[in-house]
Amino acid sequence: MRFASGCILMVFATTHFLNHALGIFGVAAMEAAQEWRYWFWHSWIGTVALYGSLIVHPVFALLRVAQRRTFRMPGREVIQIVLGVAIPLLLIDHIVSTRVQGVLFGQDESYHAVLRRLWPNLALSQSLLLLLVWTHGVIGLHFTFRARDAYARWRDPFLLAAILIPLLALIGFSVAGREAQMMALPPELYTAQQVDMFNLNVTWAKRAFFGLIGGFAGFVVLRELRARALGAIAVRFVGHGVRRVIPGPTLLEIFRRFGIPHAALCGGRARCATCRVLVLDGADELPPPGPNEARLLRRISAGDHVRLACQIRPKRDLQVQILLAAKQRGAGPSGTVDPDDRIGKKGLTVMVADLRAFTALSERQLPHELMNLLNRFYDEMSQAIAAHGGRIEAIYGDGLMAVFGLEATPARAGAAAIAAAGDMVRAVEALNREYSNALPLPLRIGIGIHGGQAIVGAVENESMGRREITVGETVMIASQLEAATRRLLSDIVVSAETVSATGRSYRDTVPHKIAVKGRDKPMQVYGFGSTPAGEARSDAEQGMQAKDGAGGWVSAAKDATPDLADPGPDRG
Protein backbone atom coordinates (compact mmCIF):
# COMPACT_ATOMS: atom_id res chain seq x y z
CA MET A 1 0.00 0.00 0.00
CA ARG A 2 2.83 2.39 0.83
CA PHE A 3 4.62 1.65 -2.43
CA ALA A 4 1.49 1.78 -4.63
CA SER A 5 0.30 5.06 -3.11
CA GLY A 6 3.82 6.50 -3.44
CA CYS A 7 3.88 5.58 -7.14
CA ILE A 8 0.54 7.34 -7.71
CA LEU A 9 1.85 10.48 -6.00
CA MET A 10 5.07 10.28 -8.04
CA VAL A 11 3.10 10.03 -11.30
CA PHE A 12 1.06 13.09 -10.30
CA ALA A 13 4.22 15.00 -9.34
CA THR A 14 5.91 14.07 -12.64
CA THR A 15 2.98 15.26 -14.77
CA HIS A 16 2.65 18.40 -12.64
CA PHE A 17 6.35 19.28 -12.93
CA LEU A 18 6.43 18.58 -16.67
CA ASN A 19 3.50 20.97 -16.92
CA HIS A 20 5.62 23.51 -15.02
CA ALA A 21 8.47 22.96 -17.49
CA LEU A 22 6.24 24.11 -20.35
CA GLY A 23 6.35 27.55 -18.75
CA ILE A 24 9.59 27.99 -20.70
CA PHE A 25 7.31 28.46 -23.74
CA GLY A 26 4.85 30.71 -21.91
CA VAL A 27 1.76 30.58 -19.70
CA ALA A 28 -0.45 29.69 -22.68
CA ALA A 29 1.50 26.45 -23.23
CA MET A 30 1.17 25.57 -19.52
CA GLU A 31 -2.61 26.08 -19.56
CA ALA A 32 -3.04 24.05 -22.76
CA ALA A 33 -1.28 21.08 -21.15
CA GLN A 34 -3.13 21.64 -17.86
CA GLU A 35 -6.45 20.89 -19.57
CA TRP A 36 -5.19 17.38 -20.39
CA ARG A 37 -3.97 16.88 -16.82
CA TYR A 38 -7.24 18.09 -15.36
CA TRP A 39 -9.15 15.65 -17.56
CA PHE A 40 -7.78 12.78 -15.46
CA TRP A 41 -6.82 14.18 -12.06
CA HIS A 42 -10.12 16.09 -11.69
CA SER A 43 -12.19 13.03 -12.63
CA TRP A 44 -13.62 10.96 -9.78
CA ILE A 45 -11.07 8.18 -10.44
CA GLY A 46 -8.14 10.58 -10.40
CA THR A 47 -9.47 12.44 -7.35
CA VAL A 48 -9.95 9.25 -5.32
CA ALA A 49 -6.53 7.91 -6.37
CA LEU A 50 -4.71 11.17 -5.66
CA TYR A 51 -6.25 12.18 -2.34
CA GLY A 52 -6.52 8.59 -1.17
CA SER A 53 -2.77 8.26 -1.76
CA LEU A 54 -2.15 11.54 0.05
CA ILE A 55 -3.75 9.98 3.13
CA VAL A 56 -2.56 6.37 2.77
CA HIS A 57 1.09 7.06 1.98
CA PRO A 58 2.04 9.13 5.07
CA VAL A 59 0.00 6.83 7.36
CA PHE A 60 1.75 3.69 6.16
CA ALA A 61 5.11 5.47 6.08
CA LEU A 62 4.68 6.52 9.72
CA LEU A 63 3.59 2.97 10.53
CA ARG A 64 6.83 1.65 9.07
CA VAL A 65 8.83 4.20 11.06
CA ALA A 66 6.94 3.27 14.22
CA GLN A 67 7.83 -0.40 13.67
CA ARG A 68 11.51 0.43 13.90
CA ARG A 69 13.18 -0.63 17.13
CA THR A 70 16.34 1.33 16.43
CA PHE A 71 16.94 4.62 14.68
CA ARG A 72 20.52 3.82 13.75
CA MET A 73 20.22 3.63 9.98
CA PRO A 74 21.99 4.72 6.77
CA GLY A 75 21.96 8.45 6.05
CA ARG A 76 19.75 8.00 2.97
CA GLU A 77 16.96 6.55 5.11
CA VAL A 78 17.25 9.44 7.56
CA ILE A 79 16.98 11.91 4.67
CA GLN A 80 13.91 10.18 3.28
CA ILE A 81 12.15 10.20 6.67
CA VAL A 82 12.98 13.87 7.29
CA LEU A 83 11.72 14.82 3.82
CA GLY A 84 8.54 12.81 4.38
CA VAL A 85 7.80 14.82 7.54
CA ALA A 86 8.71 18.20 6.02
CA ILE A 87 6.68 17.84 2.81
CA PRO A 88 3.17 18.02 4.35
CA LEU A 89 4.00 21.23 6.20
CA LEU A 90 4.47 23.02 2.87
CA LEU A 91 2.03 20.95 0.85
CA ILE A 92 -1.05 21.64 3.01
CA ASP A 93 -1.01 25.38 2.22
CA HIS A 94 -0.63 24.67 -1.51
CA ILE A 95 -3.52 22.18 -1.63
CA VAL A 96 -5.90 24.37 0.37
CA SER A 97 -5.11 27.51 -1.65
CA THR A 98 -5.76 25.77 -4.96
CA ARG A 99 -8.03 22.69 -4.96
CA VAL A 100 -9.95 23.27 -1.71
CA GLN A 101 -10.59 26.98 -2.29
CA GLY A 102 -11.45 26.24 -5.92
CA VAL A 103 -14.10 23.69 -4.92
CA LEU A 104 -15.58 25.76 -2.07
CA PHE A 105 -15.57 29.23 -3.65
CA GLY A 106 -15.00 28.60 -7.36
CA GLN A 107 -11.61 30.27 -7.09
CA ASP A 108 -9.62 30.39 -10.34
CA GLU A 109 -7.15 27.47 -10.51
CA SER A 110 -5.68 28.32 -13.90
CA TYR A 111 -1.94 28.82 -14.16
CA HIS A 112 -2.06 32.55 -14.79
CA ALA A 113 -4.10 33.06 -11.59
CA VAL A 114 -2.12 30.71 -9.36
CA LEU A 115 1.21 32.06 -10.63
CA ARG A 116 0.15 35.61 -9.75
CA ARG A 117 -0.57 34.46 -6.17
CA LEU A 118 2.74 32.62 -5.82
CA TRP A 119 5.17 34.91 -7.66
CA PRO A 120 7.37 36.34 -6.27
CA ASN A 121 6.48 36.25 -2.52
CA LEU A 122 5.93 32.47 -2.28
CA ALA A 123 8.29 31.43 -5.09
CA LEU A 124 11.04 30.26 -2.73
CA SER A 125 8.80 28.08 -0.54
CA GLN A 126 7.09 26.53 -3.59
CA SER A 127 10.44 25.81 -5.25
CA LEU A 128 11.60 24.18 -2.03
CA LEU A 129 8.42 22.08 -1.94
CA LEU A 130 9.04 20.92 -5.51
CA LEU A 131 12.59 19.81 -4.68
CA LEU A 132 11.54 18.06 -1.45
CA VAL A 133 8.76 16.09 -3.15
CA TRP A 134 10.93 15.10 -6.08
CA THR A 135 13.96 14.10 -3.99
CA HIS A 136 11.80 12.03 -1.63
CA GLY A 137 10.20 10.18 -4.55
CA VAL A 138 13.44 9.58 -6.46
CA ILE A 139 15.16 8.16 -3.37
CA GLY A 140 12.24 5.81 -2.79
CA LEU A 141 12.16 4.56 -6.39
CA HIS A 142 15.93 4.14 -6.59
CA PHE A 143 16.22 2.02 -3.47
CA THR A 144 13.15 0.02 -4.41
CA PHE A 145 14.39 -1.05 -7.83
CA ARG A 146 18.19 -1.07 -7.51
CA ALA A 147 18.18 -4.70 -6.32
CA ARG A 148 16.57 -5.79 -9.61
CA ASP A 149 18.73 -6.91 -12.51
CA ALA A 150 16.78 -4.92 -15.13
CA TYR A 151 17.37 -1.65 -13.25
CA ALA A 152 21.00 -1.54 -14.36
CA ARG A 153 19.86 -0.83 -17.95
CA TRP A 154 17.57 2.01 -16.86
CA ARG A 155 19.69 3.60 -14.12
CA ASP A 156 21.39 6.19 -16.33
CA PRO A 157 18.17 7.36 -18.08
CA PHE A 158 16.48 7.44 -14.66
CA LEU A 159 19.27 9.63 -13.29
CA LEU A 160 19.03 11.94 -16.29
CA ALA A 161 15.26 12.34 -15.82
CA ALA A 162 15.72 12.80 -12.07
CA ILE A 163 17.96 15.80 -12.76
CA LEU A 164 16.25 17.33 -15.79
CA ILE A 165 12.60 17.25 -14.69
CA PRO A 166 12.94 19.41 -11.53
CA LEU A 167 15.48 21.68 -13.23
CA LEU A 168 13.21 22.37 -16.19
CA ALA A 169 10.19 22.71 -13.86
CA LEU A 170 11.94 25.42 -11.83
CA ILE A 171 13.00 27.27 -14.98
CA GLY A 172 9.48 27.07 -16.39
CA PHE A 173 7.98 28.24 -13.06
CA SER A 174 10.34 31.22 -13.00
CA VAL A 175 9.71 32.26 -16.61
CA ALA A 176 5.94 31.84 -16.42
CA GLY A 177 5.75 33.56 -13.01
CA ARG A 178 7.32 36.72 -14.40
CA GLU A 179 5.03 36.59 -17.43
CA ALA A 180 1.93 36.23 -15.24
CA GLN A 181 2.99 39.26 -13.18
CA MET A 182 3.10 41.42 -16.33
CA MET A 183 -0.39 40.41 -17.49
CA ALA A 184 -2.89 43.29 -17.49
CA LEU A 185 -5.47 41.60 -15.26
CA PRO A 186 -7.56 43.06 -12.42
CA PRO A 187 -6.30 42.19 -8.93
CA GLU A 188 -7.91 39.25 -7.13
CA LEU A 189 -10.17 40.20 -4.24
CA TYR A 190 -10.86 37.86 -1.33
CA THR A 191 -13.82 38.05 1.01
CA ALA A 192 -13.42 37.71 4.76
CA GLN A 193 -15.22 34.36 4.52
CA GLN A 194 -12.64 33.06 2.03
CA VAL A 195 -9.73 34.16 4.21
CA ASP A 196 -11.26 32.63 7.34
CA MET A 197 -12.03 29.37 5.54
CA PHE A 198 -8.48 29.17 4.19
CA ASN A 199 -6.95 29.70 7.62
CA LEU A 200 -9.37 27.25 9.24
CA ASN A 201 -8.65 24.47 6.71
CA VAL A 202 -4.90 24.94 6.96
CA THR A 203 -5.01 24.92 10.76
CA TRP A 204 -7.11 21.76 11.02
CA ALA A 205 -5.05 19.93 8.40
CA LYS A 206 -1.80 20.69 10.19
CA ARG A 207 -3.31 19.75 13.55
CA ALA A 208 -4.38 16.41 12.10
CA PHE A 209 -0.89 15.80 10.74
CA PHE A 210 0.84 16.71 14.00
CA GLY A 211 -1.72 14.63 15.88
CA LEU A 212 -0.85 11.67 13.66
CA ILE A 213 2.85 12.08 14.37
CA GLY A 214 2.17 12.51 18.10
CA GLY A 215 0.04 9.38 18.14
CA PHE A 216 2.79 7.32 16.57
CA ALA A 217 5.37 8.81 18.93
CA GLY A 218 3.22 7.84 21.90
CA PHE A 219 2.80 4.34 20.49
CA VAL A 220 6.57 3.94 20.21
CA VAL A 221 7.12 5.11 23.79
CA LEU A 222 4.49 2.74 25.23
CA ARG A 223 5.81 -0.16 23.20
CA GLU A 224 9.37 0.39 24.47
CA LEU A 225 8.18 0.59 28.08
CA ARG A 226 6.25 -2.65 27.68
CA ALA A 227 9.17 -4.41 25.99
CA ARG A 228 11.58 -3.41 28.74
CA ALA A 229 9.20 -4.78 31.34
CA LEU A 230 9.27 -8.20 29.65
CA GLY A 231 13.05 -8.60 29.99
CA ALA A 232 15.89 -9.15 27.51
CA ILE A 233 16.85 -12.10 25.29
CA ALA A 234 20.31 -13.22 24.19
CA VAL A 235 21.21 -13.17 20.49
CA ARG A 236 24.51 -14.78 19.57
CA PHE A 237 26.16 -13.63 16.34
CA VAL A 238 28.84 -16.06 15.18
CA GLY A 239 32.10 -14.12 15.11
CA HIS A 240 30.60 -11.05 16.82
CA GLY A 241 29.74 -12.27 20.30
CA VAL A 242 26.50 -12.23 22.27
CA ARG A 243 24.15 -9.25 22.55
CA ARG A 244 21.27 -8.90 25.00
CA VAL A 245 18.31 -7.05 23.51
CA ILE A 246 14.70 -6.26 24.30
CA PRO A 247 12.32 -8.36 22.13
CA GLY A 248 10.78 -6.49 19.22
CA PRO A 249 13.47 -5.26 16.80
CA THR A 250 14.27 -7.20 13.66
CA LEU A 251 17.61 -8.94 13.38
CA LEU A 252 18.69 -6.30 10.85
CA GLU A 253 17.90 -3.55 13.35
CA ILE A 254 19.94 -5.38 15.98
CA PHE A 255 22.86 -5.43 13.51
CA ARG A 256 22.54 -1.67 13.13
CA ARG A 257 22.10 -1.00 16.83
CA PHE A 258 25.36 -2.74 17.73
CA GLY A 259 27.31 -1.74 14.62
CA ILE A 260 27.74 -5.31 13.33
CA PRO A 261 28.86 -5.18 9.65
CA HIS A 262 26.15 -6.44 7.34
CA ALA A 263 24.67 -5.89 3.89
CA ALA A 264 21.15 -4.58 3.25
CA LEU A 265 20.66 -3.57 -0.35
CA CYS A 266 16.91 -2.84 -0.19
CA GLY A 267 16.96 -1.22 3.26
CA GLY A 268 15.03 -4.01 4.99
CA ARG A 269 11.99 -4.35 2.72
CA ALA A 270 12.36 -8.06 1.75
CA ARG A 271 13.19 -7.08 -1.85
CA CYS A 272 16.73 -8.47 -1.85
CA ALA A 273 18.47 -11.30 -0.03
CA THR A 274 21.71 -9.58 0.98
CA CYS A 275 20.83 -9.58 4.70
CA ARG A 276 20.11 -13.32 4.88
CA VAL A 277 21.42 -15.32 7.81
CA LEU A 278 21.65 -18.97 8.82
CA VAL A 279 19.73 -19.63 12.03
CA LEU A 280 21.88 -22.12 13.95
CA ASP A 281 19.79 -22.29 17.11
CA GLY A 282 16.24 -21.17 17.81
CA ALA A 283 14.82 -21.55 14.29
CA ASP A 284 11.82 -23.50 15.61
CA GLU A 285 10.86 -20.56 17.84
CA LEU A 286 10.59 -18.16 14.90
CA PRO A 287 7.32 -17.56 13.03
CA PRO A 288 7.21 -18.94 9.46
CA PRO A 289 8.31 -16.63 6.64
CA GLY A 290 5.74 -14.18 5.34
CA PRO A 291 4.70 -14.13 1.65
CA ASN A 292 7.42 -11.73 0.48
CA GLU A 293 10.18 -13.48 2.41
CA ALA A 294 9.05 -16.94 1.32
CA ARG A 295 8.93 -15.91 -2.33
CA LEU A 296 12.43 -14.43 -2.17
CA LEU A 297 13.88 -17.47 -0.37
CA ARG A 298 12.43 -19.74 -3.06
CA ARG A 299 13.91 -17.53 -5.77
CA ILE A 300 17.45 -17.92 -4.39
CA SER A 301 16.93 -21.62 -3.52
CA ALA A 302 17.79 -20.95 0.12
CA GLY A 303 18.58 -23.90 2.34
CA ASP A 304 16.93 -24.94 5.57
CA HIS A 305 17.02 -22.39 8.41
CA VAL A 306 18.07 -19.56 6.06
CA ARG A 307 16.04 -16.43 6.80
CA LEU A 308 16.07 -12.73 5.97
CA ALA A 309 17.42 -10.68 8.87
CA CYS A 310 15.03 -7.82 8.05
CA GLN A 311 11.99 -10.08 8.59
CA ILE A 312 12.97 -11.87 11.83
CA ARG A 313 11.81 -10.44 15.15
CA PRO A 314 13.25 -12.84 17.75
CA LYS A 315 11.32 -13.33 20.98
CA ARG A 316 13.52 -16.14 22.31
CA ASP A 317 17.28 -16.68 22.52
CA LEU A 318 18.78 -17.04 19.05
CA GLN A 319 22.08 -17.92 17.37
CA VAL A 320 22.72 -16.82 13.79
CA GLN A 321 25.55 -16.61 11.27
CA ILE A 322 25.81 -13.87 8.63
CA LEU A 323 25.97 -15.54 5.21
CA LEU A 324 27.11 -12.61 3.08
CA ALA A 325 30.30 -11.53 4.79
CA ALA A 326 30.94 -7.80 5.00
CA LYS A 327 34.18 -6.08 5.91
CA GLN A 328 34.20 -3.66 8.80
CA ARG A 329 36.03 -0.92 6.88
CA GLY A 330 33.19 -0.79 4.35
CA ALA A 331 30.58 -0.30 7.04
CA GLY A 332 29.04 2.95 8.15
CA PRO A 333 28.50 4.06 11.76
CA SER A 334 25.53 1.71 12.06
CA GLY A 335 27.44 -1.23 10.63
CA THR A 336 25.58 -0.96 7.34
CA VAL A 337 27.49 -2.07 4.28
CA ASP A 338 25.91 -0.43 1.27
CA PRO A 339 26.49 -2.78 -1.69
CA ASP A 340 27.95 -1.31 -4.85
CA ASP A 341 25.24 -0.25 -7.31
CA ARG A 342 27.49 -1.39 -10.15
CA ILE A 343 27.14 -5.04 -9.06
CA GLY A 344 24.60 -6.94 -11.12
CA LYS A 345 23.91 -8.96 -14.24
CA LYS A 346 24.71 -7.57 -17.66
CA GLY A 347 24.70 -8.88 -21.20
CA LEU A 348 28.39 -9.19 -22.15
CA THR A 349 30.60 -10.95 -24.65
CA VAL A 350 33.49 -12.76 -22.98
CA MET A 351 36.75 -13.68 -24.69
CA VAL A 352 39.25 -16.18 -23.30
CA ALA A 353 42.62 -16.43 -25.07
CA ASP A 354 45.60 -18.69 -24.40
CA LEU A 355 49.03 -19.24 -25.94
CA ARG A 356 49.46 -22.83 -27.13
CA ALA A 357 52.44 -24.97 -26.20
CA PHE A 358 53.65 -22.27 -23.84
CA THR A 359 55.14 -24.77 -21.41
CA ALA A 360 57.37 -26.23 -24.12
CA LEU A 361 58.35 -22.71 -25.19
CA SER A 362 59.21 -21.61 -21.65
CA GLU A 363 61.52 -24.60 -21.16
CA ARG A 364 63.63 -23.53 -24.15
CA GLN A 365 63.85 -19.79 -23.39
CA LEU A 366 65.92 -17.87 -20.89
CA PRO A 367 63.81 -16.14 -18.20
CA HIS A 368 64.58 -12.61 -19.43
CA GLU A 369 63.82 -13.56 -23.02
CA LEU A 370 60.55 -15.18 -21.99
CA MET A 371 59.39 -12.17 -19.97
CA ASN A 372 60.31 -9.84 -22.82
CA LEU A 373 58.24 -11.97 -25.19
CA LEU A 374 55.28 -12.03 -22.82
CA ASN A 375 55.41 -8.26 -22.38
CA ARG A 376 55.33 -7.81 -26.15
CA PHE A 377 52.52 -10.35 -26.45
CA TYR A 378 50.32 -8.62 -23.84
CA ASP A 379 51.08 -5.20 -25.32
CA GLU A 380 49.77 -6.36 -28.68
CA MET A 381 46.77 -8.18 -27.20
CA SER A 382 45.72 -5.25 -25.02
CA GLN A 383 45.94 -2.83 -27.95
CA ALA A 384 43.82 -5.10 -30.14
CA ILE A 385 41.20 -5.52 -27.41
CA ALA A 386 41.08 -1.85 -26.40
CA ALA A 387 40.81 -0.76 -30.03
CA HIS A 388 37.47 -2.56 -30.23
CA GLY A 389 36.08 -1.32 -26.92
CA GLY A 390 37.01 -4.34 -24.82
CA ARG A 391 38.60 -4.55 -21.39
CA ILE A 392 41.04 -7.14 -20.09
CA GLU A 393 39.62 -8.57 -16.86
CA ALA A 394 42.30 -11.10 -15.94
CA ILE A 395 45.77 -12.25 -16.98
CA TYR A 396 46.98 -15.67 -15.93
CA GLY A 397 50.44 -16.73 -17.09
CA ASP A 398 50.07 -17.26 -20.82
CA GLY A 399 46.37 -16.44 -21.09
CA LEU A 400 43.86 -13.67 -20.58
CA MET A 401 40.15 -12.97 -20.28
CA ALA A 402 38.51 -9.89 -21.77
CA VAL A 403 34.94 -8.58 -21.83
CA PHE A 404 33.09 -6.56 -24.45
CA GLY A 405 29.77 -4.75 -24.10
CA LEU A 406 30.22 -2.84 -20.88
CA GLU A 407 29.04 0.26 -22.74
CA ALA A 408 27.55 -1.31 -25.88
CA THR A 409 24.68 -3.50 -27.06
CA PRO A 410 25.12 -7.32 -27.27
CA ALA A 411 25.17 -7.09 -31.08
CA ARG A 412 28.01 -4.55 -31.12
CA ALA A 413 29.83 -6.39 -28.35
CA GLY A 414 29.81 -9.68 -30.25
CA ALA A 415 31.00 -8.06 -33.49
CA ALA A 416 33.72 -6.15 -31.61
CA ALA A 417 34.98 -9.32 -29.90
CA ILE A 418 35.21 -11.21 -33.19
CA ALA A 419 37.00 -8.31 -34.89
CA ALA A 420 39.42 -8.02 -31.94
CA ALA A 421 40.12 -11.75 -32.15
CA GLY A 422 41.10 -11.37 -35.80
CA ASP A 423 43.48 -8.54 -34.90
CA MET A 424 44.96 -10.67 -32.12
CA VAL A 425 45.67 -13.57 -34.48
CA ARG A 426 47.32 -11.22 -36.96
CA ALA A 427 49.36 -9.65 -34.13
CA VAL A 428 50.64 -13.11 -33.17
CA GLU A 429 51.65 -13.73 -36.80
CA ALA A 430 53.52 -10.43 -36.76
CA LEU A 431 55.33 -11.47 -33.56
CA ASN A 432 56.33 -14.72 -35.23
CA ARG A 433 57.94 -12.77 -38.06
CA GLU A 434 59.68 -10.43 -35.60
CA TYR A 435 60.99 -13.22 -33.36
CA SER A 436 61.56 -15.80 -36.09
CA ASN A 437 65.28 -16.09 -35.36
CA ALA A 438 64.78 -16.25 -31.59
CA LEU A 439 61.89 -18.69 -31.19
CA PRO A 440 62.42 -22.46 -31.26
CA LEU A 441 58.79 -22.85 -32.42
CA PRO A 442 56.18 -20.34 -33.56
CA LEU A 443 53.56 -18.78 -31.32
CA ARG A 444 49.99 -19.94 -31.72
CA ILE A 445 46.91 -18.60 -29.93
CA GLY A 446 43.52 -20.10 -29.20
CA ILE A 447 40.54 -17.81 -28.60
CA GLY A 448 37.06 -18.70 -27.32
CA ILE A 449 34.19 -16.19 -27.52
CA HIS A 450 30.70 -16.43 -26.03
CA GLY A 451 28.04 -13.85 -25.21
CA GLY A 452 25.34 -13.92 -22.55
CA GLN A 453 24.38 -12.75 -19.09
CA ALA A 454 27.32 -12.38 -16.69
CA ILE A 455 27.68 -11.08 -13.16
CA VAL A 456 29.90 -8.01 -12.91
CA GLY A 457 31.26 -6.49 -9.73
CA ALA A 458 34.43 -6.08 -7.72
CA VAL A 459 36.38 -8.07 -5.13
CA GLU A 460 38.56 -6.36 -2.58
CA ASN A 461 41.01 -7.28 0.14
CA GLU A 462 44.09 -5.79 1.75
CA SER A 463 46.67 -7.73 -0.26
CA MET A 464 45.38 -7.22 -3.82
CA GLY A 465 43.26 -4.09 -3.37
CA ARG A 466 40.12 -3.71 -5.49
CA ARG A 467 39.63 -5.59 -8.77
CA GLU A 468 36.75 -5.57 -11.22
CA ILE A 469 35.69 -9.12 -12.11
CA THR A 470 33.17 -10.89 -14.32
CA VAL A 471 31.87 -14.34 -13.40
CA GLY A 472 29.11 -16.71 -14.42
CA GLU A 473 28.20 -19.35 -16.97
CA THR A 474 29.18 -17.10 -19.88
CA VAL A 475 32.79 -16.98 -18.66
CA MET A 476 32.84 -20.75 -18.15
CA ILE A 477 31.55 -21.42 -21.67
CA ALA A 478 34.07 -19.01 -23.24
CA SER A 479 36.83 -20.88 -21.43
CA GLN A 480 35.58 -24.20 -22.77
CA LEU A 481 35.43 -22.80 -26.29
CA GLU A 482 39.06 -21.71 -25.97
CA ALA A 483 39.98 -25.24 -24.91
CA ALA A 484 38.03 -26.59 -27.92
CA THR A 485 40.23 -24.67 -30.38
CA ARG A 486 42.81 -27.48 -30.11
CA ARG A 487 40.31 -30.22 -30.93
CA LEU A 488 38.61 -28.26 -33.72
CA LEU A 489 41.92 -27.13 -35.27
CA SER A 490 40.75 -23.51 -35.26
CA ASP A 491 42.43 -20.42 -33.95
CA ILE A 492 39.10 -18.88 -32.94
CA VAL A 493 35.90 -20.61 -31.81
CA VAL A 494 32.75 -18.52 -31.40
CA SER A 495 29.38 -19.73 -30.15
CA ALA A 496 26.54 -19.67 -32.67
CA GLU A 497 24.51 -17.56 -30.20
CA THR A 498 27.15 -14.83 -30.35
CA VAL A 499 27.40 -14.90 -34.15
CA SER A 500 23.61 -14.75 -34.42
CA ALA A 501 23.46 -11.82 -31.98
CA THR A 502 25.77 -9.75 -34.19
CA GLY A 503 23.27 -9.94 -37.06
CA ARG A 504 26.15 -10.47 -39.49
CA SER A 505 27.48 -13.31 -41.60
CA TYR A 506 31.16 -14.26 -41.67
CA ARG A 507 33.15 -15.95 -44.41
CA ASP A 508 35.43 -18.96 -43.99
CA THR A 509 33.78 -20.36 -40.90
CA VAL A 510 33.29 -24.04 -40.13
CA PRO A 511 30.25 -25.12 -38.04
CA HIS A 512 30.79 -27.62 -35.21
CA LYS A 513 28.85 -29.09 -32.32
CA ILE A 514 30.67 -29.57 -29.05
CA ALA A 515 29.72 -30.82 -25.61
CA VAL A 516 29.72 -28.07 -23.00
CA LYS A 517 29.88 -28.78 -19.30
CA GLY A 518 26.63 -27.83 -17.61
CA ARG A 519 24.45 -28.16 -20.74
CA ASP A 520 22.53 -31.28 -21.71
CA LYS A 521 22.61 -30.69 -25.47
CA PRO A 522 25.67 -30.09 -27.67
CA MET A 523 26.40 -26.45 -28.41
CA GLN A 524 26.60 -25.07 -31.95
CA VAL A 525 29.84 -23.16 -32.56
CA TYR A 526 31.79 -21.76 -35.50
CA GLY A 527 35.50 -22.16 -36.07
CA PHE A 528 37.36 -19.19 -37.56
CA GLY A 529 40.76 -19.54 -39.16
CA SER A 530 40.58 -23.31 -39.16
CA THR A 531 43.10 -25.43 -41.06
CA PRO A 532 42.36 -28.62 -43.04
CA ALA A 533 41.87 -31.74 -40.99
CA GLY A 534 43.71 -35.08 -41.15
CA GLU A 535 46.95 -35.36 -43.12
CA ALA A 536 46.64 -31.86 -44.45
CA ARG A 537 46.87 -30.63 -40.87
CA SER A 538 50.12 -32.53 -40.39
CA ASP A 539 51.52 -31.00 -43.55
CA ALA A 540 50.54 -27.56 -42.30
CA GLU A 541 52.16 -28.16 -38.96
CA GLN A 542 55.34 -29.38 -40.68
CA GLY A 543 55.33 -26.31 -42.87
CA MET A 544 55.04 -24.05 -39.86
CA GLN A 545 57.88 -25.88 -38.18
CA ALA A 546 60.19 -25.44 -41.19
CA LYS A 547 62.49 -22.47 -41.64
CA ASP A 548 63.29 -20.84 -44.94
CA GLY A 549 66.78 -20.18 -46.17
CA ALA A 550 67.00 -16.91 -44.27
CA GLY A 551 66.08 -18.59 -40.97
CA GLY A 552 62.50 -17.25 -40.96
CA TRP A 553 59.39 -19.29 -40.37
CA VAL A 554 57.44 -20.42 -43.44
CA SER A 555 53.71 -20.92 -42.80
CA ALA A 556 52.08 -23.63 -44.89
CA ALA A 557 48.76 -22.49 -43.45
CA LYS A 558 48.93 -19.20 -45.32
CA ASP A 559 45.59 -17.40 -45.56
CA ALA A 560 44.16 -19.86 -43.02
CA THR A 561 42.97 -16.97 -40.85
CA PRO A 562 40.00 -15.15 -42.44
CA ASP A 563 39.73 -11.41 -42.63
CA LEU A 564 37.69 -10.94 -39.46
CA ALA A 565 37.84 -7.17 -39.70
CA ASP A 566 35.48 -7.49 -42.66
CA PRO A 567 32.61 -9.64 -41.37
CA GLY A 568 30.85 -9.65 -44.70
CA PRO A 569 27.41 -8.27 -45.50
CA ASP A 570 24.82 -7.85 -42.74
CA ARG A 571 22.05 -10.43 -42.73
CA GLY A 572 18.74 -9.34 -44.14
- Which pLDDT belongs to residue 231? 65
Domain stops at, among 337, 357, 388: 337
Q: Which residue has the higher pLDDT, 547 or 345?
A: 345
Q: Quote the domain boundaries for residue 310.
A: 233-337
**462 shares a domain with 421:** yes
- Which pLDDT belongs to residue 325? 59
**222 shares a domain with 320:** no
**416 shares a domain with 328:** no
Spatial separation of the C-alpha atoms in residues 140 and 2, rounded to whole Å: 11
**425 shares a domain with 307:** no
Spatial separation of the C-alpha atoms in residues 474 and 38, rounded to whole Å: 51
Where residue 417 sits, what CATH number does that domain have?
3.30.70.1230
Q: Which residue has the higher pLDDT, 467 or 162?
A: 162
Task: Give domain status of residue 253, yes or no.
Answer: yes
Q: Please check whether residue 219 is in contact with residue 126, taking contact to mean a CB–CB distance below 8 angstroms.
A: no
Task: Give domain status of residue 139, yes or no.
Answer: yes
- Which pLDDT belongs to residue 173? 92
**457 shares a domain with 321:** no
**190 shares a domain with 41:** yes
Query: Averaged over 551-571, what is the pLDDT?
Result: 40
Task: Give domain status of residue 17, yes or no.
Answer: yes
Q: Is the pLDDT of residue 24 over 70?
A: yes
Q: Is the pLDDT of residue 224 over 50?
A: yes
Q: Which residue has the higher pLDDT, 388 or 463?
A: 388
Percent of the chain with pLDDT over 90: 15
Highest mean pLDDT among 188-192, 508-512, 552-556: 508-512
Q: Which residue has the higher pLDDT, 540 or 359?
A: 359
Where residue 312 sits, what CATH number does that domain have?
3.10.20.30
**371 shares a domain with 237:** no
Q: Is the pLDDT of residue 327 over 60?
A: no
Q: Please check whether residue 536 is in contact with residue 448, taking contact to mean a CB–CB distance below 8 angstroms.
A: no
Q: Which residue has the higher pLDDT, 550 or 528?
A: 528
Helices assigned H by DSSP within 119-150: 123-145
- Which pLDDT belongs to residue 532? 30
**31 shares a domain with 156:** yes
Q: Please check whether residue 561 is in contact with residue 506, taking contact to mean a CB–CB distance below 8 angstroms.
A: no
**Model confidence at 72, in pLDDT bands (50, 70, 90)?**
low
Predicted TM-score (pTM) of the model is 0.51
Classify each residue of 514-539 as buried b or exposed e, where b means 16 or more C-beta atoms within 10 Å of its C-beta: bebeeeeeebebbbbbbbeeeeeeee
Q: Which residue has the higher pLDDT, 103 or 183?
A: 183
**Model confidence at 571, in pLDDT bands (50, 70, 90)?**
very low
**332 shares a domain with 355:** no
- Which pLDDT belongs to residue 346? 78
Q: Is the pLDDT of residue 247 over 70?
A: yes
Task: Give domain status of residue 390, yes or no.
Answer: yes
Task: Give domain status of residue 570, yes or no.
Answer: no
Q: Is the pLDDT of residue 549 over 70?
A: no
Starting at the edge strand that comes first in sequence, how are the strands of the sheet with 318-322 ordered? 241-245, 233-237, 318-322, 276-281, 306-308
Segment 110-155, tens digit of pLDDT: 777 788 888 888 889 889 989 999 999 998 888 888 767 677 778 8
Please count the structural domains in the chain.
3
Please give the mean pLDDT across all residues of the chain. Answer: 79
**55 shares a domain with 36:** yes
